[in-house]
Amino acid sequence: MAYEARTKPTEVSVADFIAAVENPQRRADAETLCALFAEISGEPPKMWGPSIIGFGRYHYRYASGHEGDAPRLGFSPRKAQTVVYVMSGFQGQETMIARIGKVKTSVSCMYVNRLDQIDLGVLREMAVASLAHMSKLYPDD
């Protein structure tokens, strides 16, 4: 239940959420990511649950029968790091991760300490590739 609540869109203002991020570096990084992902996705930012800023939407259904909605692209400016959410499994993903700079990864998450420690051009490539991959996997959303 907590997972489902986290992934539902809310009416909370993205601008207000970003303005409330305490760490000034993390707040500036959130503003940069918000503009970048809105440009790449062509979608306005939307809050998903209490801390995820998402762009677009898709509906997933697992073999187990579990299903729900999630943003196609997103990020969350957390206290320790910013988490960037991209769909895993797209062509060239490993090469891009090797080129992007200082990040940690797990499945569809990249943990970034500061945007100035990564190559934003590579992040753009990853986001574009991830969205293209999502369009193939979830074409009707």
Bridge partners (DSSP) listed for residue 101: 118
CA distance 125 to 74: 15
- pLDDT for position 2: 35
pLDDT tens digit at each of 141 positions of the chain: 234 445 789 999 999 999 999 999 999 999 999 999 999 999 999 999 999 999 999 988 888 888 889 999 999 999 999 999 988 888 889 999 999 999 999 878 999 999 999 999 999 999 999 999 989 988 875
Task: Specify the pTM.
Answer: 0.91
- pLDDT for position 81: 95
- pLDDT for position 107: 79
Torsion of the alpha carbons at 121, 48, 21 and 37, rounded to the nearest 10: 20
Q: In terms of DSSP H, where are the helices of 23-119?
A: 24-41, 93-100
Amino acid, single-letter form, for residue 112: V
* Token pair of 101 as six digits: 């700079």
Cross-sheet strand order for the sheet of 52-55: 45-48, 52-55, 73-77, 82-85, 109-112, 103-106
Amino acid, single-letter form, for residue 90: F
Q: Report the Cα 137 to chain-centroid distance in Å.
A: 17
| Block residue for tokens 């499945």 | 107
Give the chain's domains with CATH numbers. 2-137 (3.90.1150.200)
- pLDDT for position 3: 41
- pLDDT for position 6: 55
- pLDDT for position 87: 84
SS3 59: strand
- pLDDT for position 25: 95
- pLDDT for position 1: 28
